[in-house]
Structure 1
C-alpha cells in the first residue's frame, strides 16, 4: 500500500536517490547529502515543537509499504521569508504618457518583491518516475492539504506554490539566459543549486532593485514568463483544480509562475470532513457501486498517515477496510478526516475516465 507519513532520519538514503533523479529546477531538493540531512532534521524538530516559526517545515514521504521504500516527497513551509528574505518578481505595469504628443504606453515590468513574506508554501514535490501512475500523484500532492485542514492552527491564512519554470531538454532556461545570467554571471544550474542549499545572499547583493522592462528581454524569454516546465504541467493543473491560481508573481531564476490561494478556500481543505472509523472487510468497502476514490487521513499530529482508497464518504461512521485501518493506525471508533480525491468526480463508479488517466503521467515537480 502507498502511505504518506512524516519523514524520518532513516529516509535519507532514499531521498538522496530521489534528489538525483529530480535534476536542476527543484531547488528545495538538491542532490546534497548534508543539506538533505539538515532538511530532515528540521522537519523532525518541527513535529517535535522545538523550532521557531520562521524555520518550521514539514517534509512528507510517500512510502511503498510492501517494499519499505520512499518513492516520493512533498513538503510545507509554515511561513516563508521570516528567517531569510523571500524573493520573486511581481509582474506589473508602468505607464509612460504624454498629453502633448498624444502618446500612452503601458509597459510590462518586473519588480523584485518580498510580498509573500509570512505565507505558507507547498513545495518540494517529486515522485519517482516508476510510480507516476494511478492515484500516487494525487495522494502526494493532496495529503499535505489534509494535514493543513486537520491542524489548521499551525498555518496562516494564505498558501503559495512556486512552480518549476520552463527549460529545454538540455536544461537551458531562456528566462535565466536573458535576465538572471546578466546580473549574476553564473550558469542556471549553479544559481539554482546555491539557492536550493540556502545560499541566497547573492540575490540581494546582485539583483537590481529598480523595475525591469519586459520588452527589453529577448522574445524567447518573454514567451516563458509564467510558463511551467512541460513535466510540471500535471502538478499545476492539479493545484489549480484545488483553487490555487496565478496572481502575477514569478520565480526570479526561471520565470515559473507562483500559484496562491486562501487556505480555507482550497477544495480539499474546505470540503474535507471528520468522521469516525468503522472497520469492514476490504472487499465489502471498495466494491460498492457508490464507492469513489477518496483521501483518508488520521488525526494524529506526530503519527500522521494518509492513504488513497475507495470508500463511501457521507456515511457515519465511515466504513474503511482492514488494510486501510492498519495503514492509518486506526481502531474502530477513532476519528479520521476524509475528502474525495478528485475535484470533478471522474473517479466515481460508472465514470468513463480511469483514475490512471488522472494521476501524474509526467514528472511532479514544483
Structure 2
C-alpha cells in the first residue's frame, strides 16, 4: 500500500536520492544534503506548531509517499503556507504595452515581461516528484491530490490563493532557451548553477543582476519567446491535473525558465469543495469505490487510496486501510471519490 505521510529526519537519504533523480530545473530539490536536511527540519517544526502559533505563515509541510510493503520512499510533495515572507518571491508578469500615434496611423501592441513580487503571501503547492519506478496507475494523481485534502482539513493555516510553479522548458543537458538570453546579457553563470543557487535559498543575485526595467518580448530570441508560459514535457500531466481542479494561468512565469505559475482561490479548488468529513466504520469494502482518504491528525497525517463504502455520515474502511491511516471506528477522516479519468 502507498501512504502519504510527513517527512522525518530518517528520510534524508531517500530525499537526497529523489533530488538526484529529479534533475536540473527542479529548484525546490537541490542536490545538497545540508539544504535538504534543513528543509526536513523546517517541515518537522511546522508540523509541531499548534494552530495559535502559525499565524506568521512561515511554515512548510513536506510529505513523502511510502510503499508500506518495502518501507521505500518513492515520492515527495509539499505545501508552503505563505511564500515570500522572509525572502523575496520573484516572477515575471506577461503584460501588454500599446504604442499608438493617430497622426501617423500607427497602433502597435507589445508584450512585456515585468519583474514583480505579486505572489508574496499566497500559499504554494510545490516539490512534487514521483520516482520513475512508481509512475503507474493512480500513484501520480494520489501524490498530487493528497495536498487538497491537507488544505481542506487544515484550512486556517493557508492563504486565500494557492499557486503552483510549473517546470519550464529545458533540454536534456538542462539548458533553458529563456535563461540563455538572460545569461548572455545579465549573468555570468549557466542555468544549472543559477537554478542550484536558487534552490539553496541564495537569491540575492536575482535582485542584484536581473534587468530592472520591463523586457519587450519581441526583442528576445525566437527560441526564448517560444517557451514563455510553456511547460516541460514531464510536467504536462501535473499541469493537466491542476487545470482540472480549477487552476488557471494569469500570465506569471518563472524568472529562470519562463515556466507558467498557475493559481486558484483555495475555496474554488474542486477537490476541496467536494471532499467530505466522515466518521469511520470498519467492515467489508468489496462493493466500495476507489476513494482518497486522509486522517485529520496534523502531526500524524496519513493519506492513501483504497476501496471504501460511502454511507450517509460515515465511511466504511477495511481493517488494513484503517490501520494504515492510524484510525479506528468512530474517528473522523476526510475523503473524496477518486473518479476515473
**TM-score grouping bracket, smaller chain normalisation:** over 0.9
Q: More deviation in 118-127 or 306-315?
A: 306-315
Q: CA deviation at 1:54?
A: 4.8
The secondary structure found in structure 2 opposite 1:24 is: coil
Q: Does 1:147 align with 2:144?
A: no
* Change over 3 Å in CA distance of 1:303–1:181 after alignment to 2: farther
Deviation at 1:104, TM superposition (A): 0.7
The residue that corresponds to 1:308 in the other structure is 305
The C-alpha deviation readout for 1:11-35, integer Å capped at 9, x for no partner, is 1011111111010111000111000
2:76 maps to which residue?
A: 73
> What corresponds to 1:221 in structure 2?
224
* Structure ranking higher on relative contact order (CA contacts 8 Å, 6+ apart): 1
Structure-2 residue corresponding to 1:20: 20
Tell me, which stretches of 5 or more residues in structure 2 are unaligned?
Answer: none
1:268 and 1:224 mapped to 2: Cα distance? 30
Paired residues of 1:313 and 1:339 also in contact (CA < 8 A): no
Find the partner of 1:190 among 188, 193, 202: 193
1:245-293 CA-partner distances (Å, limit 9, x unpaired): 111100000010001000010011111001100111xxx31x31xx332
Map of 1:8 onto structure 2: 8
**1:221 Cα deviation (Å)?**
1.0
Report the equivalent of 1:108.
111
Question: 1:276 touches 1:334 (CA, 8 Å); kept in 2?
Answer: yes
Q: TM-score, normalised by structure 2?
A: 0.96
The counterpart of 2:170, out of the listed 164, 167, 172, is: 167
Post-superposition shift, 1:240? 0.9
Change (3 A) 1:15 1:105: same
Q: 2:242 aligns with which of 233, 239, 242?
A: 239
Q: Please give the secondary structure, in 2, of the residue aligned with 1:108.
A: strand
Tell me if the contact between 2:54 and 2:157 (Cα under 8 Å) persists in the aligned partners: no
Counterpart for residue 257 of structure 1: 260
Distance (whole Å) between structure 2 residues aligned to residue 178 and residue 341 of structure 1: 43
Asked if structure 2 preserves the Cα contact closer than 8 Å seen for 1:29 and 1:36, the reply is yes
Q: Report what 1:295 is aligned to.
A: 292
In the alignment, what sits opposite 1:361?
none
Equivalent-residue separation in structure 1 for 2:330 and 2:202 (angstroms): 49
Structure 2 match to 1:363: none
- Decide whether the 8 Å contact of 1:180 with 1:252 is kept in 2: no
The match for 2:46 is 46
Q: Which runs of 5+ in 1 are unaligned?
A: 347-357, 359-366
The root-mean-square deviation of aligned C-alpha atoms, in Å, is 1.3
What secondary structure does 2:3 align onto?
A: strand
Aligned length: 338
TM-superposed CA distance for 1:309, in Å, is 1.2
- Cα deviation for residue 313 of structure 1 reads 3.3
